[in-house]
Structure 1
Amino acid sequence: MNPTVVLVHGAWHGSWCWGELIPALEAHGLPVATVDLPSSGPDVTALGDLDADVAALTAVLDAVGGPKILLGHSYGGLPVTQAAAGRQDVVHLVYVCAFMLDAGVSLIEAAGGEPPSWWRPSEDGTWMTADRPEEVFYSDCDPAVAAAAVPQLQPQSLSSCRQPLSAAAWETIPSTYVVADRDPELPQFVQEGMATGRATRVVHIDAGHSPFLSRPGELAAIVAACAEVTAAPAQAD
């Protein structure tokens, strides 16, 4: 039985961003499920924090039967790290240029304690938008792909990035870190630093911050290889 790949998007994004990756994964025989994290959305008065994202992801995990691979992109690495802790049905974690952090650490803390320069906080400091998204998120995407993605970006709660993780699933669940070598704002050495001592395996992809849009076939092949590794012990029994 192939594991279901549960896709967890990053900040400002939604499940719409997986439009190219989902058919590429399905071509490998992998079923897919997605989640829309409540920390991102159009209603800035209703945005959730990290715990709300974990709850939303947990609900999806509970609804999907069988073994699961969790794939988190960027901020999505945080809810993946916390939600999978203690679960027996999550067989592998995939971090795609994602925040792979220790328990007790927040995204802001991992970023050095201050918001990056391209974050645009609201006047009341409760939510933010992203400046220069074409450059930050979609630097190596086809211009038409980037142009279609930018209008779909939504405000992101700042509380989701200030809240520390309460658990770290990578301590007990095998994991793969996918380093996006051409990410302009999360440099290769930063990604490798997060992966070192945490990820079971590190692979590289020649892509910017959104390989699910610029290199969906290559990313799907990496995930499919993870699925093969998780299935190998069961096939040998």
Structure 2
Amino acid sequence: MAWPNVYRLDSRQLERRPAARPRPTIIIAHDAFHTPAHFEQLQQDLAAAGFRVVVPQLPSSGVAGQSATLEDDVQTLVLYGKAEIENGHNVVLVAHGYGSIPGAAAAERLNQHSLDRPRTGTVTRLILIAGVVSRVNESYYDSVEAAWAVARDGLVAIRNPSKIFYNDCSPETTATALTNMRPQSESSLWAKSTTPGWMNIPTFYVVCEADQAIAPSLQQGFVRTLQSVNGRVTVANMQAGHCPFLSRGREVAALVVRQVLENL
């Protein structure tokens, strides 16, 4: 074939090459007592790496969420997830602490939704950061020894949150994080899980070894629960407190990016 040389083209440039696979949207399900504001730096770092990142406010977190339930949180995540998968985008769901419970349930519903509609995306992966893995008919309180929680008038607050949540954060980061904290709906923490959505989705679990909110031994137990029914579980250990995206943000962002890109 001589004609490419007429136009000073290298024929090797005409070889068919596989198109780059589109990157999924990352949806973050925040922990109880937290808000999207706690994830601003992680969101920015992931966006800088080329990802669309969505961090919904879960209804159960905040004074106005006194009557909000676990189901309200699930439905919120499903709503945001549908907006992505119905436009053909796959989703990776990153969940922190309590957020793993509504996050896993939402992921299962979204994948069922995808089965019923051709050419939609799916939830391809769960990334759980100190995530709570509740079995069917178990609640957050059934799964976590939350002696640090104080309930009053349907809302739950935290004793000494700087020690429980932010023990390895700088004073400046801790001060901002405390300002962004919210009380949590008590009913959301007692609500029983109706579906273990983590059974059928590849899952990456980050164990936080200096966590004062959810003991590392509990997290390791959650990993064993995952591995007992899901053959696609990988684990990383971080020497970090409960919120490594605040104390070791760049490292968490790199972990997430690597997990996503290696599993496209």
Calculate the TM-score normalised by the size of structure 1: 0.90
Q: Which amino acid is the alignment partner of residue 67 of structure 1?
A: N
Which of 141, 145, 159 is residue 173 of structure 2 equivalent to? 145
Which of 8, 23, 48 is residue 2 of structure 1 equivalent to? 23
| Per-residue Cα deviation, 1:102-161 (whole angstroms, up to 9, x for no partner) | 22211111126xxx2211110x3x111111111011100110010111122111011101
Q: Hey, what does 1:25 align to over in structure 2?
A: 46
Q: Hey, what does 1:235 align to over in structure 2?
A: none
Q: Which has the higher contact order (CA 8 A, sep 6+)?
A: 1
| Per-residue Cα deviation, 1:168-216 (whole angstroms, up to 9, x for no partner) | 1211110010001111231212101101141511111121000111111
Equivalent-residue separation in structure 2 for 1:44 and 1:107 (angstroms): 17
Q: Hey, what does 1:234 align to over in structure 2?
A: none
Please state if 1:82 is matched with 2:105: yes
Q: Which amino acid is the alignment partner of residue 61 of structure 1?
A: G
Aligned pair count reads 225
Q: Hey, what does 1:94 align to over in structure 2?
A: 127
Instruction: Say which SS state the counterpart of residue 217 (structure 2) adopts.
Output: helix
**Is residue 164–residue 213 contact of structure 2 (8 Å, CA) maintained in 1?**
yes
Q: Hey, what does 2:72 align to over in structure 1?
A: 52
Equivalent-residue separation in structure 2 for 1:83 and 1:207 (angstroms): 27
Q: Hey, what does 2:60 align to over in structure 1?
A: 39
The Cα shift of 1:77 comes to 0.7
Q: Hey, what does 1:161 align to over in structure 2?
A: 189
Equivalent-residue separation in structure 2 for 1:100 and 1:218 (angstroms): 23
Q: Which amino acid is the alignment partner of residue 14 of structure 1?
A: T
Please state if 1:69 is matched with 2:118: no
Which of 210, 216, 225 is residue 188 of structure 1 equivalent to? 216
Instruction: Say which SS state the counterpart of residue 70 (structure 1) adopts.
Output: strand
Which of 150, 159, 175 is residue 120 of structure 1 equivalent to? 150
Percent identity for Structure 1 against Structure 2: 30
Equivalent-residue separation in structure 1 for 2:64 and 2:52 (angstroms): 31
| Per-residue Cα deviation, 1:55-113 (whole angstroms, up to 9, x for no partner) | 1111110112400000110110111111111414100001100102222211111126x
Please state if 1:224 is matched with 2:257: yes
Equivalent-residue separation in structure 1 for 2:130 and 2:192 (angstroms): 19
Which of 153, 160, 163 is residue 132 of structure 1 equivalent to? 160
Bigger radius of gyration, 1 or 2? 2
Calculate the TM-score normalised by the size of structure 2: 0.81
Q: Hey, what does 2:6 align to over in structure 1?
A: none
Q: CA RMSD in A?
A: 1.4
The structure with the greater share of residues assigned to helix is 2
Q: Which amino acid is the alignment partner of residue 102 of structure 2?
A: P
The Cα shift of 1:44 comes to 5.3
Q: Which amino acid is the alignment partner of residue 128 of structure 1?
A: V
Q: Which amino acid is the alignment partner of residue 79 of structure 2?
A: A
Q: Which amino acid is the alignment partner of residue 24 of structure 1?
A: D
**Is residue 149–residue 159 contact of structure 2 (8 Å, CA) maintained in 1?**
yes
**Is residue 63–residue 155 contact of structure 2 (8 Å, CA) maintained in 1?**
no
Equivalent-residue separation in structure 2 for 1:184 and 1:13 (angstroms): 16
